[in-house]
Amino acid sequence: MRTIAIIEDEKLFGGELKRRFEREGWQVTLSPTITDARRVVLELGFAPEIVLSDMNLPDGNGLDFLEEVRKAGGRGEWIFLSGYGTRRDIDRALALGALDFLSKPIDYHKLDLTIAAASRGARAQQRLTDAARSQSQKYSPDHFVGSSAAATRVRNVLLQLARLPTSNVLLAGETGTGKGLAAKILHYGSSRAQEAFVDVNCAAFPKDMLESELFGHEPGAFTGAKGRHRGLLEQADGGTLFLDEIGEMELGLQSKLLTAIEEQSFRRLGGEQKTFVDVQLIAASNRNLRQAADEGRFRADLYHRISVFEVDLPPLRDRLEDIEELTMTVIQEFNVHAGKNVHIVPDKVWNALKSYSWPGNMRELRNVLERSVLLSTGPELTAEWLGLSNDRSINSAVTPAASADNGNWIRLPLDGSMALEEMERFIIQTALEKHDYNVMATARALGTTRETLRYRVQKYGLMKRVFGTSSDTDRC
């Protein structure tokens, strides 16, 4: 049922409005004073879709009451009625989010049009509220599944951070450890849950395109810029911007991002006017940004700005005691999606899952289980579709399914059991071992540059020897 609260001290006019809306099927409350309206809305918890309020009441001002309701988290569309109103009153009403300001005596045709617009706005706002509530339930800290000490620590940290006022957070960890999930938990558990959550993978865009995506552009800012484009920072106003793989961002763009974060404002490409925003920033990287900052590959001032709080997400191999709980949770999810009823996991399968090193972490586990559930023909999760080798060492970062033959050949599986990054890591490690960790020799063998190889060595944690004397400069 549609709901409306009327705050009006003129008895005849208030009663006429109440009867009019009740005839149209509205649930109506009528309050002659601010005190009574405060009791109905704030104390009894009545949350009307629309509030139709006089401006000046015997015990207070309607604008002051709107501000009080907004501070208490109240929503709804507000329409003010007044025999007189200054430009300042109108501006304040609009600033507080009021929909309209109607003068007395009331033009009922205009009132009906305004109420219809308010009703549409209220329904749209309710849909947003319901969606945010659904997302908040979907991305609660409990959805970071696991009973291990590592998983419990992450859940507790996320719960604490979500309750704090706006602050920048850096999520660190290997690929597939759940940084995207953690970012959504932080957003939907915060006071910004009903606002936008905007995410972008910085590694997915060329430098020039990423700048336009972040800050937007004006018509003619560059070739092909035919219209105005609202950037992701602007789209995230009031909510959260999640910058995944921020370590891949070009240094020049990092400088512009730092200024935008500090000033909470920016200029679109080709624009002269500043755009002001209120954005919570969550960044993520599978690279060691502290080390990258120390080595000049990432701006140190930006690192310190985005890492007010830094959360390290553990790799799956460090929380293997969570495998059973994670597996059953994921199986149930894919059962629902695929209409399956897989619920039996044989000991052979458990042994395979628990003895595997999971270099792709949760993303790899989900892929393996999705394939196995979708291809299952009964209630049992068979080992047939796992694609895992039982002889994998938990502490080894190298996948035995990939192997280095004698000579200059490397064999790699193409059955989906090995991710692309895992293949690259294995190739580099094998080449390094073959050339006794000599950077120049390994770079020549792989047909790449010394700088590119060093970056990959650090990215995959393959540093085996620390630089000592100048004679060691060609070794990792």
Q: What residues does each domain of the chain span?
A: 3-135, 145-312, 316-385, 403-472
pLDDT value of residue 464:
55
Side-chain half-sphere CA neighbours of 78 within 13 A: 23
CATH of domain 145-312: 3.40.50.300
Q: How far is Cα 471 from Cα 419, in angstroms, rounded to an integer? A: 36
Within its chain, how far is the Cα of 463 from the centroid?
32
- Fold topology of 316-385: Helicase, Ruva Protein; domain 3 (1.10.8)
Spell out the residues 6+ positions from residue 426 whose beta carbon is closer than 8 angstroms to its own.
398, 399, 402, 410, 412, 418
Q: Residue 49 has which token pair?
A: 């879709």
- Fold topology of 403-472: Arc Repressor Mutant, subunit A (1.10.10)
Q: How far is Cα 332 from Cα 261, in angstroms, rounded to an integer? A: 41
pLDDT value of residue 254:
94
- CB-based contact 284:183 (threshold 8 Å): yes
pTM of the predicted protein model: 0.60
Whether the domain at 3-135 and the domain at 145-312 fall into the same CATH topology: yes
Pairing label, strands 265-267, 274-276: antiparallel
pLDDT value of residue 468:
38
Q: How far is Cα 101 from Cα 120, in angstroms, rounded to an integer? A: 17
**Does the structural domain 3-135 have CATH classification 3.40.50.970?**
no
Written as tens digits, the pLDDT of the chain (476 aa) is 789 999 999 999 999 999 999 998 899 999 999 999 999 989 888 888 899 999 889 999 898 999 899 888 787 888 888 766 677 877 787 788 888 888 888 888 888 888 888 887 777 666 655 555 555 456 888 889 999 999 999 999 999 998 887 679 999 999 999 999 999 999 988 888 888 899 999 988 887 789 989 998 888 777 777 777 889 999 999 999 999 999 999 999 999 999 999 999 999 888 888 999 999 999 999 989 999 999 999 999 999 999 999 999 999 999 999 999 999 999 999 999 889 999 999 999 999 999 888 988 999 999 999 999 999 889 999 888 888 764 343 334 344 455 555 556 777 776 566 777 788 888 888 888 888 888 888 888 888 888 788 888 888 777 654 343 334 445 56
Sign of the CA dihedral with 98 first, then 99, 103, and 107 last: negative
pLDDT value of residue 405:
55
